[in-house]
Chains A and B, each alone.
Chain A
Amino acid sequence: MAVKKKRPTGAKAKTVSVYLDSDEIQGRKPALLFTAGQIDEVLAEAEIQELPFASEYLLGLCAWREQVLPIIDLVRFFGLGSSGKKEEERYLVVRTVDTVSPENDKNLPSEKVILRCILKVSDQIISGDIPTDCEAVYPKQVGFAPIFVRGLFRGEKEVFILPDIAAIIRSNSQGGVE
Chain B
Amino acid sequence: MKKVCLVKGGNFVLGIEDRYIISRQNVMLPQELASGEREIFHLGSLLARKHCERPEPGSVFLQLHKGDNTFFLLVDQVIDEIELPEQTTRLPPPSPELAEQLCPQVAICMNLVVLLLDPAQVIPIARQLGPGVGLFAVEGAKNSLGAVAEVVKDSGPSTPKKQIQKNKKRPKSVDEETFKRVMSWTIAQFKQGKVGTEHLAADQLPPGLVQQEGVSETVIQYLIDQISLRCQESITPGRPGEHHGG
Contact = CB atoms under 8 A, between A and B. Distances in A.
Interface of A: 47, 49-55, 58, 60-63, 66, 68-70, 72, 115, 168-172
Contacts of B106: 61, 68
B93 A50 contact: no
Overall SS of chain A's interface: mixed
A51 B108 contact: no
Interface in B73-112: 89, 91-99, 102-103, 106, 108, 111-112
B95 A70 contact: yes
| Closest 6 pairs (CB-CB, A-B) | A49-B113, A53-B98, A52-B47, A53-B96, A61-B113, A63-B108
A110 B219 CA distance: 54
A50 B112 contact: no
B92 A69 contact: yes
Given A49-B13, A49-B115, A68-B108, A54 B99 contact: yes
A103 B116 CA distance: 26
B interface, how many residues as a size bin?
A: 20 to 34
Contact of A61 (B47, B92, B97): B92
Given A52-B99, A53-B49, A61-B106, A169 B94 contact: yes
B93 A170 contact: yes
Contacts of A63: 108, 111-113
B11 interface: yes
A58 B100 CA distance: 14
Given A52-B47, A52-B102, A58 B94 contact: yes
A62 B108 CA distance: 9
A167 to B, nearest CB: 10
A69 to B, nearest CB: 6
B12 interface: yes
18 contacts: A51-B96, A51-B99, A52-B12, A52-B47, A52-B96, A53-B49, A53-B96, A53-B99, A54-B99, A55-B94, A58-B96, A68-B108, A69-B92, A70-B93, A115-B93, A169-B92, A169-B94, A170-B93
A60 to B, nearest CB: 8
A32 B91 CA distance: 26
B96 A50 contact: no
Given A49-B13, A50-B12, A54-B99, A70 B111 contact: no
Contacts of B94: 55, 58, 70, 72, 168-172
Contacts of B92: 61, 68-70, 169
A68 B93 CA distance: 10
A68 B98 contact: no
B213 to A, nearest CB: 10
Contact of A47 (B47, B103, B111): B111
A50 B95 contact: no
Given A47-B112, A61-B113, A63-B113, A55 B93 contact: no
Nearest to B43: A52
Given A61-B106, A68-B106, A55 B111 contact: no
A168 B103 CA distance: 22
Contacts of A169: 92-94
A55 B94 CA distance: 9
B109 to A, nearest CB: 9
B95 A58 contact: yes
Nearest to A72: B94
Given A49-B115, A52-B12, 18 more contacts: A47-B111, A49-B112, A50-B13, A51-B99, A52-B47, A53-B47, A55-B94, A58-B94, A58-B96, A60-B113, A61-B91, A61-B95, A61-B106, A62-B113, A63-B113, A115-B93, A169-B92, A170-B93
